[in-house]
Chain A
């Protein structure tokens, strides 16, 4: 009996290899790298915005609310695909900040004018230095950052209704709730002495 079972061992190994290859071959996110910056603070920066080159923004301008940080560029066709959905999200009240990654500024301004601007502001990352510090390796990329500026999630590729509902929204809602709790906690602790 034992001997008989042994005969099936190669077949079992073969089948499990097949299963492994099958899963690996049809994975959706084959090229996707896990973000090394997950659960670490957003890198600091000091850059101007696309719409107003005289305005300098820093990391502090992104804090206070759970928000999305969307890396985009006019040379990136997939960014154009996801843009209408970002406008939808912004209309629903989701705070979105943009990182205009290595882009031509007049083109970028035109893009925001024609396709609408879902961003609170877009950071002009002309030489890609913020991109490198964020670990960006291809636009579009969307980061979910909490109210304290920690990176909580990273999505590489287009954000559409499907991605939002299944991947990002549950995490976003949880973080918003967390932020509210910690805020009320802070308020009550402040209120305690008085």
Chain B
């Protein structure tokens, strides 16, 4: 039983890593493993201009095939990553990068979430603070609003009445209980 469990767990983990497997089937030859690694990195980082939610490594669109071919050509030529990325940027603009550059208007993308998170934190802190002070206030106010003796007696009477009503009255529920 345990063995089966472990096996299925392993199979499941393997499935998790399938996302990075390549959907497309073209064969490229590389001089060494480093080049192959570089090619995979680049094609997983560059976005296909036509099918805008896929990387060029992932997409079957003709333009993605062409771009893979270009990347392969440059990688085999010994081009470094930055040059390949600049090549793509010059032709398709910032859009091709899944990881936006740390410049200009892209800073909004990078810093926007941090900014929003900060605003959220400040709001939460302010609300928490307000809540705390209001709790303290009600505790302070308690003695002042305590019931008078007369009111307490009236309350007790009501409660007793309510209890006796429940014991004697409401026959249907009583039957069910019996």
Contacts and interface: CB of A to CB of B under 8 A. Distances in A.
Interface of A: 31, 33-37, 102, 127-128, 131-138
29 contacts: A31-B52, A33-B49, A33-B92, A34-B93, A35-B93, A36-B90, A36-B91, A36-B92, A36-B93, A37-B91, A102-B62, A128-B62, A128-B63, A131-B63, A131-B66, A132-B66, A132-B67, A132-B91, A133-B91, A135-B91, A135-B92, A135-B93, A136-B63, A137-B50, A137-B63, A137-B92, A138-B49, A138-B50, A138-B63
Contacts of A31: 52
Contacts of B10: none
Given A36-B91, A135-B93, A137-B50, 13 more contacts: A31-B52, A34-B93, A36-B92, A37-B91, A102-B62, A128-B62, A128-B66, A132-B67, A132-B91, A133-B91, A137-B63, A137-B92, A138-B63
Nearest to A34: B93
Interface of B: 49-50, 52, 62-63, 66-67, 70, 89-93, 95
A137 B95 CA distance: 12
Which one of B63, B67, B70, B89 has the greatest number of beta carbons of chain A within 10 Å?
B63
Nearest to B92: A135
Contacts of B67: 132
Please name the 9 residue pairs, one residue from A and one from B, whose CB atoms are nearest each other, closest first: A137-B49, A36-B93, A135-B91, A137-B50, A128-B66, A33-B95, A137-B63, A138-B50, A135-B92
A134 B156 CA distance: 89
Contacts of B93: 33-36, 135
B102 to A, nearest CB: 18
Contacts of A132: 66-67, 70, 91
